[in-house]
Structure 1
Amino acid sequence: MKILVVSVHPDDETLGCGGTMLKHLKNNDELYWMIVTKADESIGFSKEFISKRSNQIEKVTKEYGFKKVYTLNYLATKLQTIDFSKLINSVSRVINDIKPEIIYMNNRSDVHTDHQVTAKVLISCTKSFRYPFIKKILMYECISETEMSPPFSENIFIPNVYSDITNFIDKKLEIMNIYESEVQKPPLPRSLDNIKALARYRGASCGVDYAEAFMLVRERF
């Protein structure tokens, strides 16, 4: 089975579905990674940070056993300035190259503008009649983005699919630690304690020790 995991920014994949990807890896599924944005000096990132991020991506790629990584290289925080049709073309090329059966994407209501734009693009360019090979699309939650969305009904993340990651939670946290600049100290949301606490809470919602939660966008079987 071919699986496409979309990260608006590197680390989204681990926060949202790291344990689930490790399950896919154990099942010998083919994992592909699409990274939409990049850090760049023109938007305030240092050469040192950019170099570290590149090394982090290489390490994470090995941990998840990604068969191929697609980097779209749009500037982080600037997606809303890019022509929408250009974004759709970029994403569509990747999808057509892989022909994935399952796509994991960010939640459409995440508070970060880059996340909102990416979700809109993905929903726009995964129409069933154009991409009949796609069997399932799931939106993951990204701690510090998903729960920070305003409390309006159209923005609520309501999980209806759960993945038991009890056997993979420790490895997920280990991989998250690769992104050392993104890992925070409690009580901030991206601390390892709170990432684990969210998995514990999601597990309680579905009767297991630790879980990741998703919203089902579409499924055909």
Structure 2
Amino acid sequence: MKKVIVISAHPDDEVLGAGGTILKHSAQGDQVFWLITTNITEPDGFTVEMVSERQEEIKEVEKILGIQKTYLLNYPTMKLDSRIVNEMVPRISEIFKEVEPEIIYCLNRSDAHSDHRYTFDAVMSCTKSFRYSYLKQVLLYECISETEFAPALPEKVFLPNYYVDISNFIEKKLEAMNIYASELGEHPFPRSERNIKALATYRGAIAGVEYAEAFQLIKFIDKE
């Protein structure tokens, strides 16, 4: 049994980028934890109904994905900055020390959304081997509507080199994404069922399977 943690800046990142892989971990008996760095609140202009609905969505997705425990940092969405990163690092560190994850799935470092980039920065500060000796793999996932719209700078572009066969989990991934109904739209809107399945088909063709999710493996430590 492995301990896995998936990090998202906003609820839906985890399903878009790693939903099938999370489902596969759960099916294999691994313990999967979820860390969300931001949340929506009334002071930031969201209605009571929207805030309540979002919390219910999180609970429903937890059940579908088989999440053991969810950690909410509750920073205001769309407002992460370098100052908040300094606050986030010790909080994320404490969560890692509690969970002791072997595998981390994190947002891509160059996504268009600044919340994604600041979340990446904070998480990477908590991956030093001499402090987190249980950590063996760190992988970045692509997030539709963010990764592909980031500037394709050579030093930051998403470079997939690790593929997970999710052929048996694609329909359940779509079921989980449909919980976030307000985040979905019709093609050619990026976050559409058609586009999610198309990306999985494309990644599957690269990997030689029907459907796959792609990751950028940035750390792999082979030890007992």
Shorter-chain TM-score: which interval? over 0.9
Check the 8 A contact 1:162/1:211 in 2, yes or no.
yes
Check the 8 A contact 1:102/1:135 in 2, yes or no.
yes
* AA of the residue aligned to 1:17: A
Give matches, 1:17-56, under 5 Å: 17-56=18-57
Counterpart position of 1:123: 124
Counterpart position of 1:74: 75
Please give the alpha-carbon distance, in whole angstroms, between the structure 1 residues aligned to 2:52 and 2:84: 28
* AA of the residue aligned to 2:158: F
Structural RMSD (CA): 0.9
Unpaired stretches in structure 2, ≥5 consecutive residues: none
Q: Secondary structure at the match of 1:100?
A: coil
* AA of the residue aligned to 1:78: K
Distance 1:200 1:134, change over 3 A: same
Q: Is 1:110 aligned with 2:111?
A: yes
- TM-score by length of structure 1 reads 0.98
Check the 8 A contact 1:7/1:106 in 2, yes or no.
yes
Q: Post-superposition shift, 1:184?
A: 1.1
Q: Secondary structure at the match of 2:144?
A: coil
Check the 8 A contact 1:149/1:155 in 2, yes or no.
no
Q: Post-superposition shift, 1:96?
A: 0.6
Counterpart position of 2:166: 165
Please give the alpha-carbon distance, in whole angstroms, between the structure 2 residues aligned to 1:89 and 1:212: 30
Counterpart position of 1:147: 148
C-alpha deviations, 1:134-184, integer Å up to 9, x for none? 010100000000000112112311100000001100110011000010011
Please give the alpha-carbon distance, in whole angstroms, between the structure 1 residues aligned to 2:176 and 2:10: 15
C-alpha deviations, 1:33-74, integer Å up to 9, x for none? 111100012222111111110110110111112111111111
- TM-score by length of structure 2 reads 0.96
* AA of the residue aligned to 1:135: K
> Is 162-171 or 72-81 further displaced after alignment?
72-81
Q: Secondary structure at the match of 2:218?
A: strand
Counterpart position of 1:204: 205
* AA of the residue aligned to 1:31: V
Please give the alpha-carbon distance, in whole angstroms, between the structure 1 residues aligned to 2:195 and 2:207: 19
Q: Secondary structure at the match of 1:138?
A: strand
Identity of aligned residues (%): 51
Distance 1:43 1:83, change over 3 A: same
Please give the alpha-carbon distance, in whole angstroms, between the structure 1 residues aligned to 2:85 and 2:33: 23
Count of matched residue pairs: 221
Please give the alpha-carbon distance, in whole angstroms, between the structure 2 residues aligned to 1:113 and 1:88: 16
* AA of the residue aligned to 2:164: S
